[in-house]
Amino acid sequence: MSTPSRRILVTGAAGEIGHGLVSAFAKDPDVHVIAVDLRDPGKAIRANLDDLHLGDICDRSFIDHIVTLHEVTEIVHLAALLSTRAEHVPERAHEVNVDGTFNLLRVAAEQAQSFSRVVKFTVPSSIAVYGLSEQEKSLGGKVGLDECLRPVTMYGANKLYCESLGRYYGRHYRSLTSEGPPPIDFRCLRLPGVIAAETKPTGGTSDFVPEMIHAAAAGQPYECFVREETRIPWMTMPECVDAMLGLLEAPALPGCVYNVSSFSASAGELEAALRPHFPNLQVTYTPHAGRQAMVDTWPDDVDVTAAMRDWGYAPRWTLEQALEHYIVPSVRRQYAST
């Protein structure tokens, strides 16, 4: 068997996106996955990994040690503290979300220089980079890539800065002295709320929709922490993994940061769409002032035309299709087996 030519370091491999992405990588014999996480990802994910290192991405010597063991050709950096969790521990969030990303970019640049090869660096960003005013939010509709970038959360501020930092390493690194191309091919996917049926989310502010779905499948009442009319863009986890893979595998790209989203829906619309599948569903709305204020600064929808034009991204499902083809059957399977 030939040696895989892609050796991908995946941080946050035990998280929700890591779960889906490493199983996709496991199907590709040309990929060797070097996973990094704080915690053991469990047997199912471990089976899809070639190497696993447990440790903290903020620990520079830990990251340095990993790259002495492996010649890394790509980094997929998923580890992060999401928006709600980050508001409880903002300083720690900055360390993980910014310093951790900086450590990895720095190591990627060093790997590129050592092996005279550009290192691809792919990272999710988030709709939390937006910060719409009340008036802008009331207009509704799709928000463009470069509009309303005034995040009100630590997580959003961290992600917006990391977009810039990545653009710097990917396009402008050492612009006064360096010859040759920048060391990193930086690619960033601004994600909407992501709905996974296989895992329960923690620490995010878009968790109200996946939480409602899991409660419906478990036959439990759900007390939603935002108002019924709260609307943001969404995609399901399989669509998110496909979008990550599409971005990773695209040839050279004109842009560094891309919006993706499949549909825009409010909490109430999701409840209504779930009801035919789960007629006993009980949802009450008890908005949490702080979390509501955060989500109220996120757009109803985002403009995805750059991703469609530059690397062939295509939103796959409407809300109803997502429920029919993925969410309901997967979540039912999961709760039937527990």
Catalytic residue annotation: 155
| Contacts (Cβ under 8 Å, ≥6 apart) of 289 | none
DSSP string computed for 317-334: --HHHHIIIIIHHHHHHH
| End-to-end Cα spacing for the chain | 39
To ligand SER, the closest distance from the beta carbon of 264 in angstroms equals 14
| CA angle (183, 14, 129) in 5-degree steps | 60
CA distances from 334 to 13, 119, 131, 251, 291 (A): 21, 38, 36, 37, 28
CB 323 within 8 A of CB 274: yes
* SS3 state at 251: coil
Indicate the helix (H) or strand (E) that contains 264: strand 263-266
Task: Enumerate the β-bridge partners of residue 269.
Answer: none
Burial class (CB in 10 A: 0-12, 13-18, 19+), 58: middle
Alpha-carbon span 182 to 169, nearest angstrom: 7
Q: Smallest Cα–Cα separation from 17: which of 231, 211, 235?
A: 235
Binding positions for ligand SER, rule: CB under 6 A: 82-83, 126-128, 155, 191, 193, 204-206
